Amino acid sequence: MILQEIVHLYNRVGFGISPSEAKLLQKQSRTEIVTQLFDASRNAEPLSIELTELITTLKGLKMKDRKKIRALFKESAKKIHEMNIAWLYKLASTEQLLVEKMTLFWANHFVCNDKNIVHFQDYQNTLRKHALGNFKEFVIAISKEASMMKYLNTRQNKKQKPNENFARELMELFTLGRDQYSEKDIKEAARAFTGWNHDIMGNFRLRRRQHDYGEKTFLGKTGNFDGDAIIDIILAEKQCAQFICEKIYRYFVNDQIDTLHVSEMTELFYKDYDIGKLMRFVLTADWFYDEKNIGTKIKSPVEFLIGIHRIVPMQFEKERELVYLQKLLGQHLLFPPNVAGWKGGRTWINPNTMMLRLRLPSVLLAKGEIALDEKGEFEDDFQRFNDKRNRQRRLKVTPDWEAFKLNHKNITNKQLQETLLVSPLNRGTKQYLDKLADQDLPQYCIQLMSLPEYQLC
Amino acid sequence: MKRRDFLKQASLASTAMFLPKFVSGFNLIDDAIATGKKLVIIQLSGGNDGLNTVVPFRNDIYYKKRPSLAQQKSNLIGITDEIGFHESLIAHSNLYHNGELCVINNVGYPNPNRSHFRATDIWHTASDANEYLQSGWIGRYLDMTKSKSLDAIEVDDSLSLVMKGETMDGIATKNPQLFYRTTHDPYFKNVVSHHDDAHLSEHNLGYLYKTMVTATSSAKYIYETSKTYTTNTEYPKNEFSKQLKQVAQFINSGLQTKVYYTSLGGFDTHANQINKQKRLLKIYDEAMAAFIKDLKQQDTFKDTLILTFSEFGRRVQQNAANGTDHGTANQVFVIGKQLKKQGFYNPMANLSNLDNNGDLKYDIDFREIYTSVLNNWLEVDASKVINKSFAGVNIV
């Protein structure tokens, strides 16, 4: 496989690749490399943080101790931040690239947020477990996650008083896309999900007395459907396969849909909803490596940050600063803006985030200063709000240049450039880079990362 | 590698810019300096307790619900026979008497949300409570008027949702000089572009270059224009005053920017509210006094409308910690020289008709206010920005 294709593949299923790794892979064929990616991603390692104490306390409580539960998780709010950081570290170090990238994708598809870290961690790992599995099992499993049932009010959905929130989002965001069903379909589907609930540990429970066992008419079919049956009926619509394939195409291939390629994907996916098979098809397809698909996507903030880290490992002294960077760049993992998730693409970029991205490599890797103060939290008192504003400051980050040098022995500037930049180069930029050709590698690396071209993958 | 060279290079890296032709032809700044109307939005962030800000000092329910928190009449600045302003609001009481303040009471929206984040999003996006929008009303104003980023400035380091449109975002800057320095480097002057890179213009790379140019040219314009004015008004020494001083400098120097956004935080007074709120309102009021004085000296006040809101008010019943919890409706202050309605726009909230949570039921939808500001002050079709039709309130 040629270098450009290797880099492209790793940009999309991971966070880029180092020149030396890419060099090694050049001897292998496309199928071999893709197979290795899949093999590495088998049995996804869960994301887990230390929760023993919390789980013990939780087990001692009853569902009706609502106030106590709420207090417990208010107390443990910092655990969510711990999980946020743990996720970033996982992305920074994992060798299970494909499944982790898919998890990022699904987390922005089955969007959810929860204060209960015990439930939220389960939700997270359900994403991992099914990320390359069967889509139908995935939809059912994620719908039964306690975090999801809270986030979309499935718990409040009772026979006596149906709540349509989940049924609506299930169709609009998770499976079919907008306007593919009627309001009546939503009402009928909502009835089928009545009584869905969970116990204190987050296990799924059907509350029979709240479940509507009656007849429903949904998408033209009539029967005594329960929730699983509704999901079956939805997936029988080809539109569902197409909706998912379009989203995968936009995320992994190109912001602009190519209808021919998407319909190839849809035909395949509709057969058995096997996500792994679909991804293998995409990643081995010739069109995936078309010129027009290479270096055209704007990196998400997480792709940008992790991409830098995977080339020059960084140690953050204050994890708070890492949280702050995510917020400034516009993607704070685990805190999606709303149920539709981050829009991505060009919406990542405005004049402020653009300048920030261009500055960031020198701030992170060369002790550059940055004049960005965190917006105050609502809960902060005025003192804190008012302190230390309007200053340039340095982030407490230590780049590991030794590791960089070790990983880049015998790598030339040109080789580094070919792995870090894949988009077409603006010609002025190209001439500029030619002038820098004899700089030493770390300097050159920072220069490359500070270019608009580096924002693309 | 020498450390100094390294740093130098690194700083060059950040601003190494090469403009393809298609972007250098890109129209950066309006040729004519706009002198039209300005809108300044201030958020009292954290949820200001409106009931202790504009106080119904003859209302028994008020005193009953707030045994240790209610403001005594003697502490207030008398405004009407029944209503007094918080003692910190000296400048606001003067504005009231000058006919330069309109207090809109009990502003909210149906099914209010009591989370700071969500409530702020609702106010920023002008959405319904159950509607999640990813663009703010000022951002959409930029979209609709085909304005430029610098037509809306947030005096802060990063951009709030209110300033983000579907296709155009405002600009955040707290310090134009610093912003200018970050985007401009001597090196930039050597920018050469011999080649026509038109093929990039539709590509995402073209978009990135354009955004970069917007940032750079905006920074230059903002810095160079605003530095032509130096105020001789004394501002209090705190961050919020500094922000308003910056806004005044922008306005008085004739910057084309139409909308400014700034916020003062710390209003989440769950405990020991009295002193905290007193101090915060003092900061707010004194900064506004200086700001308005500054504008009046340059005769720009007449073209400036100032809108102050908070994402929610607080519970009528005080809590056990001498504070108040998250509530719902709240007052909005509208300040300007050209108000159609001066003083109180509408009666105070009815404290005997609360919702199940013990919170106020709103009388005026906040989007009514946005609608009037857009239609009558910024002179655009509000329904296209709000995506919903409201009659508006007769204030400007």
pLDDT band at A230 (very low <50, low <70, confident <90, very high): very high
Rounded to 5°, the CA angle A368-A371-A376 comes to: 130
Closest CA to A396 of A309, A312, A316: A316
**Which among A352, A386, A423 is the nearest to B158, CB-wise?**
A352
pLDDT band at B188 (very low <50, low <70, confident <90, very high): very low
* Interchain contact, A359 vs B171, CB within 8 Å: no
Enumerate long-range contacts of A231-239, CB under 8 Å, 24 or more apart: A231/A136, A231/A139, A231/A140, A231/A143, A231/A170, A231/A175, A232/A136, A234/A139, A234/A170, A234/A171, A234/A175, A234/A176, A235/A135, A235/A136, A235/A139, A235/A175, A235/A273, A237/A176, A237/A180, A238/A266, A238/A270, A239/A176, A239/A177, A239/A180
* Interchain contact, B204 vs A373, CB within 8 Å: no
Asked whether residue B18 carries a pLDDT value surpassing 60, the answer given is no
pLDDT band at B185 (very low <50, low <70, confident <90, very high): low
The pLDDT assigned to A147 comes to: 97
**Which among A347, A432, A447 is the nearest to B9, CB-wise?**
A447
A260 touches chain B (CB under 8 A): no
Q: For B77-88, how does the pLDDT look when each residue is reduced to its tens digit (9 = 90+)?
A: 999 999 999 999
d(CA B142, CA A415): 43
Asked whether residue A283 carries a pLDDT value surpassing 90, the answer given is yes
3-state secondary structure chain B: CCHHHHHHHHHHHHHCCCCCHHHHCCCCCCCCCCCCCEEEEEEECCCCCHHHCEEECCCHHHHHHCCCCCCCHHHCEECCCCEEECCCCHHHHHHHHHCCEEEEEEEECCCCCCCHHHHHHHHHHCCCCCCCCCCCHHHHHHHHCCCCHHHEEECCCCCCHHHECCCCECEECCCHHHHHHHHCCHHHHHCCCCCCCHHHCCCHHHHHHHHHHHHHHHHHHHHHHHCCCCCCCCCCCCHHHHHHHHHHHHHHCCCCCCEEEEEECCCCCCCCHHHHHHHHHHHHHHHHHHHHHHHHHCCCHHHEEEEEECCCCECCCCCCCCCCCECCCEEEEEECCCCCCCEECCCCCCCCCECCCCCECCCEEHHHHHHHHHHHHCCCCHHHHHCCCCCCCCCC
**Core vs surface per residue B118-156: b (16+ CB within 10 A) or e:** bbbbbbbbbbeeeeebbbbbbbbbbbbbebbbbbbbbbb
The pLDDT assigned to B214 comes to: 84
Is residue A300 a contact partner of residue A344, using CB atoms and an 8 Å limit? yes
Count of residues for chain A?
A: 457
Q: For B257-290, how does the pLDDT look when each residue is reduced to its tens digit (9 = 90+)?
A: 999 999 999 999 988 999 999 999 999 999 999 9
Closest CA to A356 of B14, B110, B314, B164: B14
**Residues facing B107 on adjacent strands:** B330, B364
Residues from chain B that touch A423, judged by Cβ atoms under 8 A, are 203-205
Query: Side-chain half-sphere of B78: how many Cα atoms within 13 Å?
Result: 6
d(CA A187, CA A167): 8
Closest CA to B137 of B367, B394, B389: B367
Asked whether residue B195 carries a pLDDT value surpassing 70, the answer given is no
Asked whether residue B108 carries a pLDDT value surpassing 90, the answer given is yes
Helix (H, G, I), strand (E, B) or coil at A216: strand
| A 262-301 residues with CB < 8 A to B | 295-298
Neighbours of B340 (CB within 10 A): 13
* Interchain contact, A428 vs B19, CB within 8 Å: yes
Distances (CA, A) of A100 to A52, A88, A105: 25, 11, 9
The pLDDT assigned to A430 comes to: 80
Q: Which residue of A has its CA nearest to B163?
A: A350
d(CA A80, CA A199): 21
Pick the range with the lowest mean pLDDT from B49-63, B170-184, B216-230, B273-287: B170-184
Q: For B132-147, how does the pLDDT look when each residue is reduced to its tens digit (9 = 90+)?
A: 888 999 999 999 999 9
Give φ, ψ of A199 to 5 degrees: -90, -175
Q: Which residue of A has its CA nearest to B277?
A: A382
Closest CA to B376 of B305, B310, B286, B276: B305
Q: What is the mean pLDDT of residues A284-294?
A: 97
Query: Side-chain half-sphere of B116: how many Cα atoms within 13 Å?
Result: 17
Give me chain A's average pLDDT, please.
Answer: 92
Mutation target vs A (from B4, B6, B222; most A CBs, 10 A cutoff): B6
* Interchain contact, B215 vs A352, CB within 8 Å: yes
The amino acid at residue B18 is F
Q: How do B330-335 and B101-108 pair as beta strands? A: antiparallel
Handedness of CA A343, A347, A352, A353 (dihedral sign): positive
The pLDDT assigned to B198 comes to: 52
**Which among B157, B211, B268 is the nearest to A372, CB-wise?**
B157
**Which among B18, B156, B182 is the nearest to A375, CB-wise?**
B156
| A 385-404 residues with CB < 8 A to B | 385-386, 389-390, 392
**Residues facing A264 on adjacent strands:** none
The pLDDT assigned to A373 comes to: 60
| Six token digits for residue A112 | 């959810």
Mutation target vs A (from B158, B244, B257; most A CBs, 10 A cutoff): B158
d(CA A322, CA A89): 11
| Six token digits for residue A46 | 């869960």
Is residue A166 a contact partner of residue A143, using CB atoms and an 8 Å limit? yes
Q: How many CB pairs under 8 A join A and B?
A: 194
Closest CA to B375 of B37, B23, B71, B20: B37
Q: Which helix (H) or strand (E) holds A117?
A: helix A117-130
* Interchain contact, A354 vs B211, CB within 8 Å: yes
ipTM for the predicted complex comes to 0.90
Token pair 């004085």 is found at B293
The pLDDT assigned to B191 comes to: 35
- pTM of structure: 0.84
The crossing angle, in degrees rounded to 10, of helices A97-107 and A77-93 is: 140
Give me chain B's average pLDDT, please.
Answer: 88
Q: For A200-225, how does the pLDDT look when each residue is reduced to its tens digit (9 = 90+)?
A: 999 999 999 999 999 999 999 999 99
A73 vs A151, residue with greater confidence: A151
Is residue A37 a contact partner of residue A98, using CB atoms and an 8 Å limit? yes
Distances (CA, A) of A198 to A145, A147, A154: 8, 9, 10
A77 touches chain B (CB under 8 A): no
Q: For A396-405, how does the pLDDT look when each residue is reduced to its tens digit (9 = 90+)?
A: 899 999 999 9
* Interchain contact, A371 vs B195, CB within 8 Å: no
pLDDT band at A382 (very low <50, low <70, confident <90, very high): low
Q: How do B343-344 and B152-154 pair as beta strands? A: unpaired
Asked whether residue B361 carries a pLDDT value surpassing 80, the answer given is yes
Domain ranges of chain B: 38-176+235-386
The third-level CATH classification (topology) of the domain covering B38-176+235-386 is Alkaline Phosphatase, subunit A (3.40.720)
* Interchain contact, A368 vs B11, CB within 8 Å: yes
Using a 10 angstrom Cβ sphere, with 0-12 exposed, 13-18 middle and 19 or more buried, the burial of residue B282 is middle
Give φ, ψ of B43 to 5 degrees: -105, 125
The amino acid at residue B47 is G
The pLDDT assigned to A376 comes to: 58
DSSP tag of A174 = I
**Which among B11, B12, B182 is the nearest to A355, CB-wise?**
B182
Q: For A319-339, how does the pLDDT look when each residue is reduced to its tens digit (9 = 90+)?
A: 988 998 998 899 999 999 888
Asked whether residue A184 carries a pLDDT value surpassing 80, the answer given is yes
**Which among B116, B121, B172 is the nearest to A352, CB-wise?**
B172
Q: Which helix (H) or strand (E) holds A205?
A: strand A204-206
**Core vs surface per residue B4-22: b (16+ CB within 10 A) or e:** eebeebbbbbbbbbbbbbb
The share of chain A scoring above pLDDT 90, in percent, equals: 77
d(CA B283, CA B260): 19
Residues from chain B that touch A115, judged by Cβ atoms under 8 A, are none
The crossing angle, in degrees rounded to 10, of helices A97-107 and A238-252 is: 120
d(CA B79, CA B98): 12
Q: What is the mean pLDDT of residues A61-84?
A: 87
